[in-house]
């Protein structure tokens, strides 16, 4: 399972940092808490938040879409958490609502969210999947940087590629900026086999190009974080 593998990878990086006393006192990994950082590291006496991804195939943030039958249009939905609000901010900034309504606006009213669960049929599920197909909106890397900057997270570790900075590099580490091509995917995403209507309409931020590998990789060595690059 991709989710479990990602969690294990986050734990691995956290333990490697903690073993070298590079984790702020009292910090524990986010786990499933989208409002907390995956990890933190200390450099130059200062704490830094860290996003961790198992690989480039991982989703770099997800959102929820909802249909308003009165307005006959799609909009942004989801929880009222800080993380969800931040994602809605990113999606609004790149024009996802206009894109969704262009792609799905003429496909009719979705069954999911408008038909009671007890009245749902297999044909209704099939209809939603047939009408609301995957679509992709290319976006700039700066949208990803801005999204994580709202969380005060400026560093990202990617399995197989290493450590990068995003919007800024406050620790002034000798690492490259994470600057790949990105896209937002809209799709129907199932949450489980039961109940029959256990699916939702979602967005996912995805990487579409491979960045140059970083010279520093927390997967291989964390001791470089004890070096004083500022004096070199």
What pLDDT, in 10s, does the model give residues 110-138? 999 999 999 999 999 999 999 999 999 99
- Residue 40: pLDDT band (50, 70, 90) is very high
b/e per residue 97-123 (b: at least 16 CB within 10 A)? bebbeebbeeeeebbbbeeeeeebeee
**Structure pTM?**
0.87
Q: Angle at Cα 72 formed by Cα 70 and Cα 73, nearest 5°?
A: 120
What pLDDT, in 10s, does the model give residues 80-113? 888 888 899 999 999 999 999 999 999 999 999 9
* Whether the predicted pLDDT of 58 surpasses 90: no
DSSP string, 33-78: -TTS-SEEEEETTEEEEEEEESSTTS-S-EEEEEEETTTTEEEEE-
Give the Cα separation of 205 and 208 in Å (integer): 10
Q: Is the distance from CB of 232 to CB of 91 less than 8 angstroms?
A: no
Q: Is the distance from CB of 39 to CB of 52 less than 8 angstroms?
A: yes
């Amino acid at each position: 399972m991709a989710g479990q593998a990602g969690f294990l990878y986050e734990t691995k990086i956290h333990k490697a940092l903690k073993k070298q006393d590079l984790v702020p006192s009292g910090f524990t990994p986010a786990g499933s808490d989208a409002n907390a950082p995956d990890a933190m590291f200390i450099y130059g006496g200062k704490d830094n938040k860290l996003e961790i991804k198992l690989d480039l195939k991982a989703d770099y943030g997800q959102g929820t879409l909802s249909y308003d039958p009165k307005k006959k249009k799609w909009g942004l939905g989801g929880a009222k958490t800080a993380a969800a609000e931040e994602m809605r901010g990113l999606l609004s900034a790149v024009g996802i609502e206009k894109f969704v309504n262009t792609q799905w606006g003429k496909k009719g009213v979705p069954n999911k969210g408008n038909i009671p669960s007890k009245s749902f049929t297999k044909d209704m599920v099939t209809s939603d999947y047939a009408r609301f197909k995957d679509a992709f909106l290319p976006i700039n890397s700066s949208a990803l940087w801005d999204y994580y900057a709202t969380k005060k997270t400026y560093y990202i570790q990617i399995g197989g590629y290493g450590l990068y900075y995003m919007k800024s590099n406050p620790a002034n580490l000798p690492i490259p900026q994470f600057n790949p091509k990105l896209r937002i995917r809209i799709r129907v995403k199932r949450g489980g086999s039961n109940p029959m209507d256990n699916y939702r309409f979602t967005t996912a931020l995805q990487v579409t190009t491979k960045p140059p590998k970083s010279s520093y990789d927390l997967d291989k060595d964390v001791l470089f974080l004890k070096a004083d690059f500022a004096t070199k």
